[in-house]
């Protein structure tokens, strides 16, 4: 069978557009509540600057929150994964705190940080921190013990063991954590912006609802979806670069 083209992924999206067009044209909802696709396209054309500015605000917050989470969670995960004592020390706390949805912390974040970027970034950080930490720990643990022994028998230094064995061995799991972190961070930013900030896609959507601009609501949703897709593709590319050795080793379709 020939390799199916990636463009096949466009088909469900086109069908959804068609369904949307039919529903809008059928007049079940008034055009004020459910504008047809063309009208939303007009919103994109008329206010590209506004949409772009809000999208950029959201993406920047997610990027900062993710970067902070990666810089702290990944090294911490390596340490916890490697040292039993640290694992015993932190396991209960990790399991307890990761169960708290970041959204539940919005009121507290507002009290502590006020309105603005800081509470939003803090919440994204938390949303991204736990999946990154847990997956890094898992990745380090999943490395075959024999491979560590091979390296130790060859008198490899701790640094070489980390760089050539622990890091590449844990990389697939870290990227899985990254993928979950991006999803969680993105979910959190939109919610946080509806409450805590005066910019970003979440703010745009909520504000559009208050001003009866359903075209902007849908435009905002579409942008969220497209950025989500782009982020996922980015991780996929990263995986192809960093984990090329896994090709043909796992059942994952390519």
Partner 1 sequence: MNHFLECLKVSKRYVGPTGTVEALHTIDLACDYGSFVCLLGTSGCGKSTLLQLVAGLETPSEGQIIVNGREIDGPSKDLSVVFQDHGLFPWMTVRRNVEFNMKARGTSRAERRARGQELLDLVGLGAFAERYPHELSGGMRQRAGIARALTTAPKLLLMDEPFAALDAQTRADLQDELLQIWRRHTTTILFVTHNIDEAVLLADRVVVFSPRPGRIKTIVEIGLPRPRDPRSAGFAALVDGLRDEIGQKPAGLA
Binding interface with partner 1 (CB under 8 A): 146-147, 149-157, 160, 164-165, 168-169, 171, 243, 245, 248-249
Task: Look up residue 145 and give its two tokens.
Answer: 């013990």
Q: Is 202 exposed, middle or buried (0-12, 13-18, 19+ CB in 10 A)?
A: buried
Q: Minimal distance in Å, beta carbon 181 to partner 1?
A: 22
Rounded to a whole number of angstroms, the minimum distance from the CB of residue 165 to partner 1 is 6
CA 46 to chain centre: 29
Q: Which is nearer to partner 1, 156 or 180 (CB)?
A: 156
Q: Supply 50's token pair.
A: 């506004």
Q: Measuring CA to CA, how many Å separate 231 from each of 119, 139, 143, 241? A: 23, 22, 27, 15
Q: Between residues 42 and 141, which has the closer beta carbon with respect to partner 1?
A: 141
Which DSSP symbol is given to 79?
H
CB 199 within 8 A of CB 57: yes
Report the residue count for the chain: 254
Q: Is 4 or 248 the residue whose CB approaches partner 1 more closely?
A: 248
| CA distance linking residue 182 with residue 234, whole number of Å | 11
Q: What is the distance between the alpha carbons of residues 245 and 113, in angstroms, rounded to a whole number?
A: 45
> From the CB of 154, what's the least distance to partner 1, in Å?
4
Residue (57 or 151) nearer to partner 1, CB = 151
User: In the complex with partner 1, which residue's Cβ is closer, 6 or 254?
Assistant: 254
């Amino acid at each position: 069978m020939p390799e199916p083209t990636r463009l096949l992924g466009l088909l469900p999206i086109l069908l959804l557009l068609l369904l949307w067009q039919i529903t809008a044209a059928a007049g079940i909802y008034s055009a004020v509540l459910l504008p047809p696709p063309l009208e939303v396209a007009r919103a994109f054309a008329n206010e590209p600057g506004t949409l772009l500015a809000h999208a950029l605000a959201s993406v920047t917050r997610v990027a900062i929150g993710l970067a902070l989470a990666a810089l702290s969670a990944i090294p911490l995960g390596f340490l916890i994964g490697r040292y039993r004592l640290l694992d015993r020390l932190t396991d209960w706390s990790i399991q307890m705190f990761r169960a708290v949805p970041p959204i539940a912390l919005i009121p507290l974040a507002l009290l502590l940080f006020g309105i603005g970027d800081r509470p939003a970034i803090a919440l994204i950080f938390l949303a991204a921190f736990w999946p990154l930490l847990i997956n890094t720990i898992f990745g380090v643990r999943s490395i075959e013990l024999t491979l560590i022994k091979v390296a130790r028998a060859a008198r490899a230094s701790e640094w070489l063991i980390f760089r050539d064995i622990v890091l590449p061995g844990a990389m697939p799991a870290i990227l899985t954590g990254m993928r979950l972190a991006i999803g969680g961070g993105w979910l959190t930013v939109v919610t946080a912006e509806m409450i805590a900030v005066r910019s970003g896609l979440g703010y745009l959507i909520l504000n559009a609802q208050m001003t009866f601009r359903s075209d902007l609501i849908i435009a905002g949703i579409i942008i969220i979806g497209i950025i989500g897709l782009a982020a996922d593709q980015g991780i996929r590319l990263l995986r192809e670069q960093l984990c090329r050795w896994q090709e043909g080793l796992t059942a994952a379709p390519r």
